[in-house]
With several copies, the nearest count.
Chain A
Amino acid sequence: MEPLVLGQHQFGSRLLTGTGRFSSLKRTHEALAASGSELCTLAVRRIDLGQTETSALLKALPEGMHILPNTAGCMTAQEALRVARLAREALDTDLVKLEILADPMTLYPNNPETVRGAQMLIEDGFTVLPYCGDDPVVCRELAAIGCAAVMPLAAPIGSGLGVVNPHVLRLIIDQVSVPVIVDAGLGSPMDACQAMELGADAVLVNTAIAAADDPVAMAKAFGLAVEAGYLSFRAGRIPKKPYATASSPIDGVVEG
């Protein structure tokens, strides 16, 4: 695989991982290591006073893992900017996953506010990866204003439904000049493989790994599926046909 280029950064794996919803830090470590991922998301949260250990998660990450802080929980561009700056200061990274949701029930991105937020963060020097709806117009605009990638959803966050609208995902991939990272809603490695076969540049997976019965095996499976889909898209699949075509030769059969 060629490296995934996000702004000034390069990554050998095209599987981005989330770190939420794991049952323990040990599991987080093992699963992320098994996935082969080189970039994982984290959320920024207030320290609970009296808590002895802070950011223990950071120490639990596999060696070589890069960090992509997110702005989860923000409902406005202004809040997202504030959280992104805190993360940058603490982590020394200009990477940020911009996530501005419209409501706590559907967890759908607020696209117009996300565009505003992306503009503010880009002006402030961030390498912005915005989570957004699967809307080609929004994705084009995010690319046009300077986002390092776009991150359209496959399905609602945590739903596990997979790529519910492959037509529009292909349209986005065709029309957007920056990398397309499919985020949210993937349920199994097959879904990740499908996203990559549609031409996505990478996928981000959290719940489907963390909430699997065996997160470590599932993480490895996602890593393999992403590579499979990457290779497949570039290897040029056969067309679909409604009728059959023989794979064994028709002539030369033994006769009586």
Chain B
Amino acid sequence: MKLWVNGQAIEAPEACSVSGLLTHLNIDGTVAVERNGELVRRADQASTRLSVKDRLEIVHFVGGG
């Protein structure tokens, strides 16, 4: 199914969870995820199913002052 991740359109497995999406995208470091503007708690990443056209923000940490 089609999702928007960080402003880009991608294809993901149907009905995958947030955790599934991270695995699908090969992301395994320390990240945080927003779905449609709402924070997804880490404890809920496995149980949160995604729907077509969900907008996701996946962030990590970079150097800053």
Do A and B have CB atoms closer than 8 angstroms in the complex?
yes
State the CA gap A21–B64 with chains docked (Å): 8
Residue B42 lies at the interface, judged by CB distance under 8 Å to chain A: yes
> Across the interface, which residues of B come within 8 angstroms of A85, CB to CB?
39
Q: How many interface residues does A have (CB within 8 Å)?
A: 49
Q: Is the CB of A18 within 8 A of B64?
A: yes
Residue A82 lies at the interface, judged by CB distance under 8 Å to chain B: yes
Of A21, A55, A82, A254, which contacts B61 at CB under 8 A?
Answer: A55
> Across the interface, which residues of B come within 8 angstroms of A158, CB to CB?
65
Q: How far is the CB of A134 from chain B (nearest CB, A)?
A: 17
Of A20, A89, A204, A256, which contacts B39 at CB under 8 A?
Answer: A89
> Nearest B residue to A59 by beta-carbon distance?
B29
Residue A206 lies at the interface, judged by CB distance under 8 Å to chain B: yes
Known: A90-B30, A206-B65. A55 touches B8 (CB 8 A): no
Residue B46 lies at the interface, judged by CB distance under 8 Å to chain A: no
Q: How many interface residues does B have (CB within 8 Å)?
A: 27
State the CA gap A41–B7 with chains docked (Å): 26
Q: Which residues B2-59 have CB closer than 8 A to chain A?
A: 5-8, 10, 25-32, 34, 37, 39, 41-42, 57-59
Q: Is the CB of A82 within 8 A of B62?
A: no
> Across the interface, which residues of A come within 8 angstroms of B57, CB to CB?
46, 86, 254-255
State the CA gap A141–B8 with chains docked (Å): 36
> Across the interface, which residues of B come within 8 angstroms of A256, CB to CB?
37
State the CA gap A58–B41 with chains docked (Å): 20
Residue A249 lies at the interface, judged by CB distance under 8 Å to chain B: yes
Q: Mark A71-97, 1 if CB is under 8 A from B, else 0.
A: 010000000001101110111000000
State the CA gap A85–B65 with chains docked (Å): 18
> Nearest B residue to A255 by beta-carbon distance?
B7
State the CA gap A178–B8 with chains docked (Å): 43
Q: Is the CB of A46 within 8 A of B6?
A: yes
State the CA gap A57–B59 with chains docked (Å): 13
Q: How far is the CB of A73 from chain B (nearest CB, A)?
A: 9
> Across the interface, which residues of A come within 8 angstroms of B27, CB to CB?
47, 54
State the CA gap A194–B51 with chains docked (Å): 56
Q: How far is the CB of B9 from chain A (nearest CB, A)?
A: 11
What residues make up the interface of A, taking CB atoms closer than 8 Å to B? 18-22, 28, 41-49, 52-58, 67, 69-70, 72, 82-83, 85-87, 89-91, 157-158, 184, 204, 206-207, 210, 246-249, 252, 254-256
22 A-B contact pairs sorted by A residue (CB < 8 Å): A18-B64, A22-B63, A41-B64, A43-B62, A46-B6, A47-B27, A49-B5, A49-B8, A56-B29, A58-B29, A58-B61, A70-B64, A82-B34, A86-B57, A87-B61, A90-B30, A90-B60, A184-B65, A207-B65, A248-B64, A249-B63, A249-B64
